Amino acid sequence: MAYIKKFSEKNEGCFLCRAAKENDDKNNLVVFRGKACFVILNRYPYNNGHLMIAPYRHIGSISDLDDDESREIMKLLKLSIKALKEEYKPDGFNIGLNLGKVAGAGVEDHLHFHVVPRWAGDTNFMPVISDTKVIPEALEESWRRIRERFIHLTA
């Protein structure tokens, strides 16, 4: 209940911009910062280790990415997959982005890629019967594990 109350208050503005600007990576779930882009743990994950990669700039279209942002997003995508493979040993990944509300974008105007680790049998009756997803690891623990793995891989 403490977790639900902590995040149930409506925050104004773009959470990605806020996370990019603030110097509180643990609270904002930022696991890695590059020069033009950063990696953040999804606060409402589909699975444990659900990451998002976003540019620091508040842009909503792939065509608005400059060359440095484009290169770094791909670099961070590769690094995210490697970190998650080593830390969680998933069987596969869902990777992509949702452009526009009709495509499922929760945040339409700040481009971000999703990296979702998947395991054989990771879905069960809970989402079907009660529209609920069970995540077996606390976000704080996921943040610690993934951040440490990024530090190790980039040292």
Q: CA quadruple 91, 53, 17, 105: dihedral positive or negative? A: negative
Asked if 69 and 62 count as a contact pair (C-beta separation under 8 A), the reply is no
pLDDT of 64 over the 90 cut = yes
Of 50, 58, 110, 112, which one is the catalytic site residue? 112
Predicted TM-score (pTM) of the model is 0.85
Q: Which of 15, 62, 45 lies closest to 116 in space, CA to CA? A: 45
Does 50 participate in catalysis according to the annotation?
no
Q: Write down the domain spans for the chain.
A: 29-154
pLDDT tens digits, residue range 85-139? Answer: 999 999 999 999 988 788 777 787 899 999 999 998 776 544 444 455 556 788 9
Whether CATH 3.40.50.920 fits 29-154: no
What are 68-92's pLDDT values in tens digits? 999 999 999 999 999 999 999 999 9
Residues 11-49: pLDDT tens digits?
A: 568 999 999 999 999 999 999 999 999 999 999 888 899
Residue in 21, 15, 56, 50 with CA at minimum distance from that of residue 35: 56
Residues with Cβ within 8 Å of 70's Cβ and at least 6 positions away in sequence, in order, are: none
